[in-house]
Structure 1
Amino acid sequence: MGSVALAEELLLLAYDNESGRATGSTIGLDLGMAAAVLVDLALAGRIAYVGGTLAATNAAPTGEPIADAVLARLAADSPHSPASWLQRLRHGLRDRVLSDLCARNIICDVDETMADGFNHLHRYPTIDPSVEADVRDRLSRALIGDDQPDERTAALATLIGAVRMEPTLGLSGPDAAAAHAQLEKISDHAGFTGTVSMEESSIRPSVALVVAVLVKAIQTALGTARA
């Protein structure tokens, strides 16, 4: 697995570098990050979509603590649908990802909890902007280029489109709409939506299938499924 997990990339995009506060839909980001962990496990050849459920096919650790904790849950639990796993995993995941990024000095935790101790407020401004800069560079090239991005970047672009995170790319109005259309095009060409057969896709069929069912589950949960 890469040094930066897909869930971490989504979170970095969603948090303002200076204010350290999240932007966009809270539920959308949490569902997106839960899906991202599962996609990373699919990319690593650890899980697959079988008979309507997500199942562990290889329980060997990946070396990424958050992903490995999720993998252990899938291996130990009974099979569940993609939608069920998204709901099971999203709770508490953001705090774990924030803690991981803080421990690696990519962001920092600024505690602004009131003196009475009742109103807890934390901000997470960026310390090392290079990680997010790399993510944005990959996405920019995917959005403006004609070549289909690699499977990891294609999956990231697809998740961003699924949770409607275009505003985190600094886009609004017609530009955001155009970016969403391009994100959907990337998803289509990767074989994530059924528009292109998985045999024609450059993405491994096992990965494409996991991404496809997770995107459908996210869109159903958010009420944004394509007609």
Structure 2
Amino acid sequence: MDRPTLADELLLIAYDDEEGSAIAGAPALDYGLAAALLIELALADRVEFAGGRLTVRDTTPTGEPFADRALATIAREEHPRKPGEWLQRLSRTLREDLLASLVNARVLRREQGRVLWVFPVTRYPAGDPAPEHAARAAMRQAVHQGPVDARTAALCGLVEATGLARAVGLPAERLKAVADERWAADAVRKAVAEVQAAVMVAISAATVATTVSTMPGSA
């Protein structure tokens, strides 16, 4: 396949190649994938951030199906929304859709099994590891040597924001530093930073909500 999208690369990094299970937790990964779509649209100059809200600059399709679906959804909204609101809306079925797409492309395999011989489980081990290896190599190059292109810098920021730094064997602070470097126009970097911040807020809110719901007397 051609170079995967940011969402594809993040998803491949987040799944163990052999076990086929997710390394990142559900809120972090799902919001990160939705953030990747928004960043793709920002890099393509289709959306921008003004006053803390996301607005559409250009409705011309990018040619990437998932990003274009997100663009159409955002464009239909009457009033601009905050990035965090879009993360929740766009993430609802996104992971499953992306997994199916990567299986169709034979980058991942779908395997059905059972846990303790009772509970059904679906795993997604690597089919073609080359796209993920290329993404990891680009990130290592950016962290250790440079220079860095816009998409790789954005991927570094997404990996750091979703807690996957250890999975790629790179320091979280260096990934963040790469994402913060001047690798693109200020407007694009601002958009990426806004989305990354929204991911962190959304993850924190989801974690707090989960903790509260499991406390004694919360029912």
TM range (shorter): 0.7 to 0.9
Question: Is 1:163 matched up with 2:162?
Answer: yes
Residue 17 of structure 1: SS of its match in structure 2? Answer: coil
Residue 55 of structure 1: SS of its match in structure 2? Answer: strand
**How far off its partner does 1:51 sit?**
2.7
Alignment coverage as a number of residue pairs: 202
Q: Which amino acid aligns with 1:207?
A: V
What CA distance in whole angstroms lies between the structure 2 residues aligned with 1:216 and 1:14? 20
Report what 1:185 is aligned to: 177
**How far off its partner does 1:209 sit?**
1.5
Report what 1:129 is aligned to: 129
**How far off its partner does 1:207 sit?**
1.4
What CA distance in whole angstroms lies between the structure 2 residues aligned with 1:39 and 1:163? 14
What CA distance in whole angstroms lies between the structure 2 residues aligned with 1:92 and 1:3? 23
Distance 1:56 1:120, change over 3 A: farther
**How far off its partner does 1:148 sit?**
4.1
Percent of aligned positions that are identical? 35
Structure 1 runs (4+) greater than 4 angstroms displaced = none
What CA distance in whole angstroms lies between the structure 1 residues aligned with 2:46 and 2:90? 17
Report what 2:152 is aligned to: 153
Q: What RMSD, in angstroms, separates the aligned Cα atoms of the two structures?
A: 2.0
Matches within 5 A, 1:1-227: 3-78=3-78, 79-112=80-113, 119-145=119-145, 147-169=146-168, 171=169, 179-189=171-181, 201-223=182-204
If the length of structure 1 is used for normalisation, what is the TM-score? 0.83
Residue 112 of structure 1: SS of its match in structure 2? Answer: strand
**How far off its partner does 1:45 sit?**
1.4
Q: Which amino acid aligns with 2:111?
A: V
Q: Which amino acid aligns with 2:113?
A: E
Residue 101 of structure 2: SS of its match in structure 1? Answer: helix
Contact kept, 8 Å, 1:21 with 1:123, in 2: the verdict is yes
Contact kept, 8 Å, 2:31 with 2:203, in 1: the verdict is no
Contact kept, 8 Å, 2:28 with 2:162, in 1: the verdict is yes
What CA distance in whole angstroms lies between the structure 2 residues aligned with 1:31 and 1:137? 24
**How far off its partner does 1:37 sit?**
0.6
Q: Which one has more relative contact order, counting CA pairs under 8 Å at least 6 apart?
A: 2
Tell me, which stretches of 5 or more residues in structure 2 are unaligned?
A: 206-219
Q: Which amino acid aligns with 2:159?
A: I
Deviations 1:110-167 (A, max 9, x none): 12269x9x9441111111111111001101111211x341111111001111111112
Contact kept, 8 Å, 1:148 with 1:186, in 2: the verdict is no
What CA distance in whole angstroms lies between the structure 2 residues aligned with 1:148 and 1:223? 32
